[in-house]
Structure formats: structure tokens, C-alpha cells
Structure 1
């Protein structure tokens, strides 16, 4: 028998931790855009921990969104009083908790209501998890793209914006007009310099409206950089069934994740912040070293195992780590090409960090899928793989492994695995990528000539040569034989 999740049902739950504070004692202090699984397994959990200490009860979360899919999440969470069941899974144990740090969710599309909430003096932080592809970044330059149609719309209709950045800017403008201190804008996405990227988007949109407004944003609004980490797969019927069977909870959208979590933040919150250092958040003056480590080693590692596993019809990430060729491929690329160009990180052994990542990837309980790791390569490769390859090029170092990672992505985007199984579209730019991948089968240069993705790397003779060898091997020998050749230094 299962119990439907709600506030009234909390006392009847058994074997599940529940909020140790009164929900009616919370008040809003943060508006969060992008109430997805990662946010509910990360920021919402840290706040739940802090509230349980009896602190920061005026820093509760209010959700917000701009996509049609956000309404489905809002309806499901609203029906269970904005509660979420978070299940932490390791190989030898699973634990469940209900978090209560979110107290409302603004209707997506109701820009007037969202802007009014953003203008409330009680809101002192606006945070975001909108994915790597949500920042309107030109892939090659990694700079804000003011010509994007969504941004052009918000510039033309500032009172009825469609984007997160249009809403944030409208909220900031309202506060400026009312003489209210600006809120801090805090990105929680896996983007190098995510605070700077977010500032460029908000100020870039402001510049299309009024140069003086853009200057005010840059001078008056804080955009701290941050590094976030917790492996959190998508929720499917599998997770809902596991929660019901193991813990007796009926949650419309539970979150499953690993027990490991990390959050490193620059301490730049002029309007105030909750004392998150009391629950494990690390505040530093410069987050860049931690960010480089995580994005290059962990996210780059995910990209490294994703495409060979996808081509070999492997479903789960832990199954990929059980494949000896893929596990060895990951370690060789990381130790020989990625880690050597990662700057030192305070009090951190990079090889030890890699070993930690390998253990996390191999966790059999997580249920993270290869398809999720393969998603949105056109936005992820320029952030997770191509920068390492450029650094190797600039250092005159070998980049055969990184070129192979790129070739595996190209082969994946052809749309069939080595067995001939169809790979369903898995990128916002899938149609374009498929066309280029088909051209590249006979002319490998066609792939890396996508300069909006590869930038200066497109001109690298060493990368072109290594990519060409790798892709030709993938087509003539297959994924397994190509990995074997690379591991034997024969590629």
C-alpha cells in the first residue's frame, strides 16, 4: 500500500525522513527558474537541511519557468503541496527524504505575476537551472548571441518577455524604479564562468533596450560564479515504481540521485544570503579552479563514455563503466589529455578526483542513462570537450583521444548504432547534425567545418588529422576495434 505525498500525509510516512520544521513558518526569499530534477536534488536539499537547523526560514523557494513543460511540473508538485521525495542511492543502500523548501510555483507564461514577484523586496536571490543550452550562447565564441529570435522578441516586448533573462531584467527594472535593492542572480548550471555568462545575457539584453540600463546592471547587480555537482537522472516510471515499492510513497515526480553533492560559490551576495556554509556549501573568492576541474573531468568524462556506449547499444551509465574498453578509454583520455590541462585546484588531487568520478559513474543504483549523457552535444561539446582539445593544441600536446571523442559524437549523430539500431533525435540541432554526419562519412572535414561549434579548433591540422583517422576507423572497423586501436596507441 502506498501513501500519496502531501503535507497531511507526512506523519504517516514510515522509513522516510520528513521536514523537521513548520512549513507555514517559511517565507519566500528566492525565486528559482527551472524547477527540474537537478535543482530539487541540489539547491532545494541544501536549503531543506538549513531550515532543519532552525535557520533561514525567510529564504524559501518560489519556482518559476517559461516553457510549456514547466506547467506540467507545476501541476504535479502543486497537487502534493510543493513537496518532493528525494531518494539517495548507493550500491549498498538507499534512503528517502521529503523536502519542503519550496512553497510556491508561479504560473509559467504569466509574466506579470512573475515580474511582480521578482520586484518583491523579500526576494533577494534569483537562481537558475535552465541547462547549458538556455543561455543564448554562440557555440564557437561562447559569447551571448543578441541576434537570437527569442532575445529579439524580448527587446521588442520588454513588458511581456518570453525568456528567463527578459523576466529577470523586467524584475530588476521594476526594483530600480521603486528604489529597491537589486536581487542577486545566481546560475546553478554547468557552464564555465556561469555568473559571467548570466551577466552577459542580462546586460546584453539590457543593451538592446537602453545602454544606461545595461551599465546599471553591470554596476549594481551581482552575478556570483558557482560550481554545482550531483548526478541526477531523469525521472521515469522506473523511479516512481521503486519509490512506491521500497518506501510506500506515491510521488508524481520524485527525484533519484547519488548521495554525493558539492556546491562551491563565490561569496558575492550584496542583498544577503542564507548561511549555506552551515550545511556544506563552500564559499570561495574564486570558483574557477573548481569549475574547470568539474566541467573538464566530470562532464568531459561523461561525454567521453556517452557516445561509444550509445553506439554499442548500452542503456545505463554503470553498464558502460562495466565495459572494459569504455572504462579504459575514459581513464586514458582523462589522464593523458584532460587532466594535464586542468589548472591546480586548492587542496585537491586531480587524479583522486578522477577516481571519485569513476566510482560515481559506476554506481549501479542511480539508473542514469547513456541517452541522457548523449543529449544536446551541440551545446555540451563546446563546453566540456573542445576547450580541452584547444588547450592541448596550444600546448603542442597530443589530442588523439579528444579527437576520437568528437568522432564518436559525429558517428552517433549519423543516427544508427553499430548494430544498425535507430538512434532517435537527441539534440535541439539533430537535423543539422545528422546531415553533417552523413556528409562526414565520406568527407570527415564536413563535420569539424561547423565553425560555430568548433571555432578555432576547425583550423587545427593536428585535430583534423586525428579526427579523420578516428572517424574512418569507426566506419570501417566499428567502435570496439577503434577503441582497441586507441588503447594500443595504434590509432
Structure 2
């Protein structure tokens, strides 16, 4: 028996471990995925694994655009990994086999472009996080000054960015008379399909105006809403899961029982029957997207910044404090829900109750620090869009603006005990410069951060109601700390 999870080890796994219900030797690649992280492996790859028993033509070639870590973990395992679904009731283990091959784009650029250009590839999916689209989060437009975009426009056949890879592959398909693949983004972007279409079209226009017209007219980019909480895998997870398997798994993924995928059904070259695995196909994703971005992600970010500052390591730890539960429940009920416009039959009350229970799940060790990453990219869609809607209707923004203030306090890089915070953000150096220049002054810090147009745009810094509330909250966070600020919070 192998000492590592791989195809040869499958037959000897314990009976309690679910394994692929199809012959992996008969699988053919139909999907190329860019950004093979934990979320993709706990979400889209699982839905695909579910349907491959009846249709094996949708195997996944998964590419990392940066780090070789996932390749190093999964390629020796024939792409196999364990999905651990954890709840208070226990843990269920399942080996996922839908990923056929893992490659590292920077060292296998030609192989990736060849796979994306292959006529059998009919869908390219993405989970590259908000920053991977090289766009301006405040406007949704391509950031033409982004270093990767500047590089890819100069060397289009040797791309670094997701837009660069996609447009070069589409160019090759067009030149060969191969129909374009569908581009399916699964990241938390507002109107994510339309945003990625805008980014790709503009990039293609800069390469060649005719190619730009082709991308605009011929390439389908359905919008999606994805939902599943996936904490970072720990060494303890690896040890526990390996003990059950009887073999080592270098990179299992741990997640919760809840999963949701809502997709616009626009796939000209065909698609897997993901609905058989529970995906929902709809004409318009936007209401569901707003529901998830504003209720789940907005609450998650608020919890992450305030919880971290209050000294809580995980979301479940934070939600063990009843003051935080009250804040988040009221945030969802009183400030977010009035901005949502759901189709008939959507049960927001049940969704919000489920969110509270999911956040409280002690089996998921979802670190507040992990959720706090890349806040400059997340804030516009998670909190600022809701704030704009509330301001336009003259409605209160007390809890929403507290979340923004907590982000500002967090990105100073110094916690409430004077210790260092490792702020991971593509704008980290710029944020650090603002914080250093502001000193421990709420007004100076807020003024410097409001000036970052890519985050706040031009409108919010000019709105005294918004800026005044954020500065007041920030001053309280400096004076009283996050825990006391939350416990004594009163809506204005």
C-alpha cells in the first residue's frame, strides 16, 4: 500500500471514506481552472466530482498562477485530495477526483495556453480572489497600470495574469476557428460575470481592437454566486485526516456542510449537469449575489476586523461573545436586508439564521486574520456598496460604518496591545505609509485612507455623514478598544 494518497491507494481506504464513483482513467479534461486554492477544491471541484459518474468529459486541469505549493502537494497524489466536512455532529471524509492534473503557470505557460486552446476545453473557471482580476475595485474597470497588465500587454504570449492568459487563449482559438470557451468566475466581485467581461474586453481591445470586438460579442461570461466557508488547512487537520485514511494527504480541505452555487445558464459550448449536484441555474444572479456579498461577506469582514482587534482568533470564538452576535444580527436585519430585492420564494429570514449558526460552528477554525486579508479589494463590494444604498435613501449606517472603521484600525498594523499585525493586502505598503503619517489620530488616519480613490471612489469621501460616522467609530476603537466598543454599541 502507498504511504501517500494517490490512485493506487484508493482501494485500501477505510470504508467510512467516500471515494470517486467513476473510473478516473476514462476522464477527459473539459474545464481549465485558474487559481487552484482551497475554496475551489471545496466547492466547484466537488460539484463536478458529483456529476462525473454519469458524464466523465468534465475533468479539471487546475492551474496555479503564482505559487507551486498546490502542485507540490497534489501532483504526487494524482490530483486527489480529501474533503473534510465538519460540524458539531462530527466529520465526514471524501476523496475528490475531479482534478486530473495540476500545473504551475509561470513554469508551464505554454502547456496552460495549449490546454485552454484545446477544443475539448469548453469552460474556464476562476477563483483568483478579487485582486487577481487586476481591476479597480471602486469602478470595476481594468487597471491598465497594474504591473501584470503592463507586462502582459508587452508580452501577450507569455502572460502572468488571469486576464492575460484568458485573452491569449481566446486569441489562439479565434485564429484556429475554435469557438470560445465560457469564462465562469467564482469570485466575490459585484456582478462578477459582467465585471470579468468588462475586464477581458478592455484587455483584448488593448491587444487588438478586432480581438476586443470578438471578446465582447462572442465570449459568454455568466455571473455566479458561490457560498461555502473554507478555513485554511492546519497541520492538525493533516494529521487527523491522515490518521483516518491510513495514508498521508499533503493538502486536504476542511469545510462546513452548507454549500450553495447559483449560476446564470449561459454556456454556448455546453456544461456539466451541475444542477444534479445541487447547483441552481437562474436567469439573473444579481439578487443572490447581493444577498451573499452583503449578508455573509459583509458580516464576515466586520467580524474579522473587530474580532481580531478584540483578541479573538477565530470567527467561532468571536461569535461566542453575545455582544458580537447581537451586532451582526442587527447589522443584517436593520442595515443590510432593506437594501436587498429578492425574487419570490427567497427566504432571507432562514438564510440569516443559518448564517449565525454557521459563524458559530466551533468545528471550523476560521481565523479572523485569514478573513481580514486583502481588505482593500473586499471592502467596496462587501460594505461600501451597501453604505451607498443606505446613504442614498437617508437610512442609518451605524454598524456598516463601524466595520469600515475597524478595517482602518486593523490596517495600521498595530494591535490594541501594541503588537504587530501582519497586514496582507496588495496595497499594504500604501496603507502602511498612510498609517505611519497619521499617527494615533483617528481623523488623520481616516482622511489619509479616504483619499485612496481605488477603494472609496470620489463620492464617499465627499459625504460628511459617512466620513463623520467612520471617524467617530475609529476614535472609539482607539480610545476604548474593539471589545468595549461592540459591547456598548448603540445605533445612532
TM-score category, normalised to shorter length: over 0.9
Q: Distance in 2 between matches of 1:128 and 1:243?
A: 27
Q: Distance in 2 between matches of 1:172 and 1:383?
A: 29
Whether contact under 8 Å (1:48, 1:101) holds in the other structure is: yes
Residue aligned with 2:250, SS: coil
Whether contact under 8 Å (2:130, 2:187) holds in the other structure is: yes
Whether contact under 8 Å (2:64, 2:70) holds in the other structure is: no
Could you report, residue by residue, the CA deviation over 1:80-128 in whole angstroms, capped at 9, with x for unpaired residues? 1110100000111210000111111234222221111111111111111
TM-score (norm 2): 0.95
Equivalences for residues 142-181 of structure 1 within 5 A: 142-181=140-179
Deviates more, 1:241-250 or 1:158-167: 241-250
Which residue of the partner structure matches residue 453 of structure 2? Answer: 451
Deviation at 1:167, TM superposition (A): 1.4
Q: Distance in 1 between matches of 2:271 and 2:63?
A: 19
Which residue of the partner structure matches residue 465 of structure 1? Answer: 468
Whether contact under 8 Å (2:310, 2:481) holds in the other structure is: no
Which residue of the partner structure matches residue 65 of structure 1? Answer: 64
Q: Distance in 1 between matches of 2:435 and 2:333?
A: 29
Match of 1:97 among 84, 94, 97: 94
Deviates more, 1:237-246 or 1:440-449: 440-449
Could you report, residue by residue, the CA deviation over 1:234-285 in whole angstroms, capped at 9, with x for unpaired residues? 1121211221244444100000000111100000000111111111111111
Deviation at 1:209, TM superposition (A): 1.4
Whether contact under 8 Å (1:310, 1:370) holds in the other structure is: yes
Deviation at 1:345, TM superposition (A): 3.7
Equivalences for residues 332-371 of structure 1 within 5 A: 332-371=330-369
Whether contact under 8 Å (1:115, 1:171) holds in the other structure is: yes
Q: Distance in 2 between matches of 1:331 and 1:98?
A: 36
Whether contact under 8 Å (1:89, 1:259) holds in the other structure is: yes
Q: How many residues align?
A: 485
Whether contact under 8 Å (1:135, 1:197) holds in the other structure is: no
Q: Distance in 2 between matches of 1:160 and 1:152?
A: 12
Whether contact under 8 Å (1:440, 1:447) holds in the other structure is: no
Which residue of the partner structure matches residue 10 of structure 2? Answer: 10
- Give unpaired runs (5+ residues) of structure 2: none
Equivalences for residues 301-312 of structure 1 within 5 A: 301-312=299-310
Q: Distance in 1 between matches of 2:254 and 2:481?
A: 34
Whether contact under 8 Å (1:91, 1:365) holds in the other structure is: yes
Structure-2 change in CA distance of 1:328 and 1:230 (3 Å): same
Whether contact under 8 Å (2:2, 2:9) holds in the other structure is: no
Deviation at 1:326, TM superposition (A): 1.5
Which residue of the partner structure matches residue 251 of structure 2? Answer: 253
Which residue of the partner structure matches residue 118 of structure 1? Answer: 116
Could you report, residue by residue, the CA deviation over 1:335-373 in whole angstroms, capped at 9, with x for unpaired residues? 121111122244212232111111111111111111111
Deviates more, 1:445-454 or 1:354-363: 445-454
Could you report, residue by residue, the CA deviation over 1:26-84 in whole angstroms, capped at 9, with x for unpaired residues? 11101111111111111110111112xx32201110112321x1x22112211111101
Whether contact under 8 Å (1:4, 1:249) holds in the other structure is: yes
Deviates more, 1:141-150 or 1:196-205: 141-150
Whether contact under 8 Å (2:193, 2:222) holds in the other structure is: yes
Whether contact under 8 Å (2:26, 2:56) holds in the other structure is: yes
Whether contact under 8 Å (1:184, 1:271) holds in the other structure is: yes
Deviation at 1:451, TM superposition (A): 2.5
- Give unpaired runs (5+ residues) of structure 1: none
**Runs of 4+ more than 4 Å apart:** none
Residue aligned with 1:106, SS: strand
Which residue of the partner structure matches residue 28 of structure 2? Answer: 27
Match of 1:485 among 472, 485, 488: 488
Which residue of the partner structure matches residue 321 of structure 2? Answer: 323
Q: Distance in 2 between matches of 1:165 and 1:480?
A: 42
Deviates more, 1:307-316 or 1:247-256: 247-256
Deviates more, 1:140-149 or 1:174-183: 140-149
Q: Distance in 1 between matches of 2:227 and 2:155?
A: 36
Q: Distance in 2 between matches of 1:21 and 1:326?
A: 45
Deviation at 1:3, TM superposition (A): 4.8
Q: Distance in 2 between matches of 1:154 and 1:426?
A: 25
Match of 1:141 among 134, 139, 142: 139
Residue aligned with 2:105, SS: coil
Q: Distance in 2 between matches of 1:396 and 1:434?
A: 33
Which residue of the partner structure matches residue 211 of structure 2? Answer: 213
Residue aligned with 2:281, SS: strand
TM-score (norm 1): 0.95
Residue aligned with 1:189, SS: coil
Whether contact under 8 Å (2:2, 2:247) holds in the other structure is: yes
Q: Distance in 1 between matches of 2:431 and 2:24?
A: 48
Whether contact under 8 Å (1:88, 1:257) holds in the other structure is: yes
Could you report, residue by residue, the CA deviation over 1:302-330 in whole angstroms, capped at 9, with x for unpaired residues? 01111111111211111111012211111
Equivalences for residues 163-312 of structure 1 within 5 A: 163-312=161-310
Deviation at 1:484, TM superposition (A): 2.9
Deviation at 1:227, TM superposition (A): 0.5
Q: Distance in 1 between matches of 2:227 and 2:299?
A: 14
Whether contact under 8 Å (1:400, 1:463) holds in the other structure is: no
Deviation at 1:482, TM superposition (A): 1.7
